Each structure stands twice: as structure tokens, then as C-alpha cells.
Structure 1
């Protein structure tokens, strides 16, 4: 077990800036760990309408879903890396991380990562919704910072129709309404 190596690698996520924001010229963009942190908080405080999701499991999925990026970096669709290749690299990174911790932890990390990748449980689909929602919420914050409410429209377009859980659909609708109000402010009457 090489816990110091593991923790050092994971610590790189604190300095790994999210590629989509960098590509869009965002000044001081969030890191991957910033993103994972807010997703974990969302998993803690939100639940789907059924109330049947395992909240602790959702928090774990949120913490692990981008863990491989401490080795492979934040690969986005704009990097022109085929999805299969991205997956292969990330699985390899998770396998390497697993060699640095004890076997039980390695198995749990691997299983969480694969569950998120496969999207075959209600928890993994909920966390995928949180992942997408955190992205557009962050985009909205960046747009507000520069007072340009169309600057990051591509991020909003990329998630339309993809949310599967009611609570996140509702949050996205509220965010979109808020954003639209700022794009088209009502004219004040005389």
C-alpha cells in the first residue's frame, strides 16, 4: 500500500482546471476537485422524488466519478479523443490508483467508478444528472461574472433533454428561467 502516492495523485485534482472552462477563456476556472466537492454536497442535500436513493452511495459516486482525471486529465469532447479511448485511459488510471491502496478500497473505488460509467443504477443516473447540473450552474456563475448571459450557451444546449431525475430537471428549469430573465430583462415602464 502506497497511501502517500495515492493521496499525492488525488491531490492533483485540486490543481487540475476543468478543460471546458479553460477552452472558453474563463479567468481562474474551477478545478476538478471543486466540481466533485459541489456534486458531493448536492448528493448530500438533494434526493430524487422517490426518496429511495442511497444518499451515502451517491456521495461516494460523486467523489469517485472523476478520480481518474488525476492521472489522465480532464478529457472533453473538444479534445477529439474517442469515447472508447477516454474510457480505456480512465479505467487504466483507476487500476493504477487501486495498486496504491488496500485491496478492499481498490475494489470499492473500481466498482464505484464502473457503476458511474455504466449508468446502470438509479444512484449512478442521479449522480450523472448532478454532474451535468453542476456544469451548467457553474457556467451560469461564470456568465454572471462577466455579465454576458449567452457566453456559455453551448454548455446549456449540451444538457437539454438529458436530465432523468425530477429534482434535477426542476433545478435546471429554475436555473434556465433565472438565466432567461437576465438575458431578456423586462423593460421598466415609465
Structure 2
């Protein structure tokens, strides 16, 4: 494959990933959220949380952040299937979707992306466990924020997300989210003494 073809293939995946900026996280509609966050917005904060959790848990922050960025990229092709729908639908495995998405990328790019998705999906390494916790923790944080905005129907997301957490650091952050105020950072710090 020529360098120009490699660039076209890589750009195709970049364009496709851009769809995630416009694709909503559909499960929030059940909670009454009319304009929920996009998949890309969710993935951005998941990567930020993942990087922090990785540092707290002694995992590789870069690897975790990469898995977090990529964990929902398959939703360009299958959309964000709400949890209730998964009882009735069977989607292709994320690893297979990713393989199709990156098939025209330069081999080194395709392997980098495919290996991160496979590791995340297997959920066996510390980095994958942390990345999965970051995904669930981001959902919990988003539910808390929606609750603070007056949306009442978010408790099931808090409960299911919290129950899925595996690391001690994720549990500590969840506790802080549940007792904190999302906009507390806007208040200036009090002067000492």
C-alpha cells in the first residue's frame, strides 16, 4: 500500500470517528434527558478519568486513556444500543467492528487500535480493568450531574455503574462524586486563616 493510500485509509477512520461527536448516548433518553451527551463527550471524560485512575492504581495512564478513547468507536456502525435493547439484539463483537473500521489504515495504525480494543474487550489486564472502571465511573458522574440539574430518573445508572466498579480508586472517586457538588469548583478558595 502506498503512503497516499495509507493516509486515505487513516483519514477515513478519523472522519468516521467524527460521527461520535454528533451521536447521542441513547440510554439517557429513558431518564428523560432530551439532549444527552454525545458518545464523543462521554469518551473524552472517560479517557480523563481513566488516566487519573491509572495513576492511582499503578497502571499505564497512556494505555488506559487510549482504550477509553477507543472503547465506543464501534458505535459509528452499530449506534449506542441501550442496555434494555441488548436483551433483544445481538451486535457484532466490537473487535470485529474495529477490524472493519481500520482495515484500510496503515498496518501499524490498524494493529495499535485493534490491540487496544481487544485488550479492553478481554478485560483481563490491569489497564483494561481500569479503563472499564473509567467507563462506568463516567456514567455515574454524568448521572450525578443530571440529577443536580433536576432530572429524577438517574438513580438506576448510579446504582448499576457503582456495582460494576472493581478498583479501590474507582470506588473512592464514586463516593466523592456522590457526596460532591458538580459546580463546587466555581467557588473561589477561601483565604487561609
TM-score w.r.t. the length of structure 1 is 0.82
Unmatched 5+ stretches in structure 2: 1-5, 182-193
Query: Is residue 102 from structure 1 mapped to residue 106 from structure 2 by the alignment?
Result: yes
Candidates 3, 14, 17, aligned match of 2:21: 14
Q: Which residue of 1 aligns with 2:115?
A: 111
Q: Is the Cα contact below 8 Å between 1:68 and 1:93 reproduced in 2? A: yes
Task: Choose from 77, 83, 91 the match for 2:95.
Answer: 91
The structural deviation recorded for 1:92 is 3.0
Q: Which runs of 5+ in 1 are unaligned?
A: 180-190
What is aligned with 1:80? 86
Q: What's the counterpart of residue 144 of structure 2?
A: 140
Give structure 1 regions of 4+ aligned residues with deviation exceeding 4 angstroms.
none
Deviation of 1:178 after TM superposition, in Å, equals 4.1
**Cα shift readout 1:158-177 (whole Å, capped 9, x = no counterpart):** 13432111111001122233
Report the count of equivalent residues. Answer: 174
Native 8 Å contact 1:133 1:172 kept in 2: yes
Deviation at 1:91, TM superposition (A): 2.9
Q: Structure 1 residues 110 and 177 mapped into 2: Cα distance closer, same or farther (>3 Å)?
A: same
Give the counterpart of 2:127 among 123, 127, 143. 123
RMSD: 2.0
Q: Which residue of 2 aligns with 1:188?
A: none
